[in-house]
Amino acid sequence: MILKDRVAIVTAAGSGIGRGGAEIMGREGAIVIATDLIAERAEETARRIRDAGGRADACQLDVTKDAEIERLVEQTAKAHGRIDILHNHAGIQVEGTLEQVPASGLDSSYAINVRAHFVAAKAALPHMKRQGKGVIINTSSNSGVFFDKGMLAYITSKTAVIAMTKQMALDYGPHNIRVNALCPGWVDTPFNDPYMRQMGGRGALEAYVKDKIPMGRWASVDEIAESILYLASDRSSYMTGHALVIDGGECIA
């Protein structure tokens, strides 16, 4: 088990990529703290990990509330004595162009997609520095690497995540704390609903995936989870400040 006894906090672990990442870390021996805005979803993820023979706890978490994030990190460190992995995965999509997106939409995108990552990383950092090592994974998107039509707030926030990740990596590499950005492409989950609306429906998005992605298909949650495991483990021990794009070639098409 390549993550044996390591303590991992995962935000938005109640479904999709967040759940997939939490589960694969649990299978590889990590003690997973699965959080989600909806408590029942977090508990379901933790139960699935435990049923598979792993160790996991669940916690309801609203990442827009700094105090909740800080309390979670401190409680985790107190209970387990360390924090080895932080996967900041919580995020939202707000669709629309400059004319269509209200300022509140940009604010929400920044608060959840960027600021919450910052607050959690800041809370975990003292524990990682004291340990002499740690891993932070900030979920961005391949939309943070290249641009697309009609998704101004989303792309702006996801680009900011990559810039923040690189700066964190630069500042804390000397402390043996690695910080990388996970940049998935199209995975068939409900998270895509806003973009689907912007494109005009499911059929339009299916056509885009088939025609514009060189591999011609969606990614599976399991495929993205393998990349999370890679970033969380010593398999990527010399990688920091990197935006790892897993998108079937979309960003080069």
Cite the active site residues: 154
DSSP 241: S
Whole-angstrom CA distances from 206 to 92, 96, 188 are 21, 19, 10
- Burial bucket for residue 4 (CB in 10 Å: 0-12, 13-18, 19+): exposed
Beta strands 31-36 and 7-10, pairing class:
parallel
Percentages (nearest 5) of helix, strand, coil residues in the chain: 55, 15, 30
What is the SS3 assignment for 45-64?
HHHHHHHCCCEEEEEECCCC
| Phi and psi, residue 156, nearest 5° | -60, -45
Q: Helix axis angle, 116-131 relative to 66-80, nearest 10°? A: 20
- Burial bucket for residue 108 (CB in 10 Å: 0-12, 13-18, 19+): middle
Strand order in the sheet with 85-88: 55-60, 31-36, 7-10, 85-88, 134-139, 177-184, 243-246
Residue 178, helix vs strand vs coil: strand
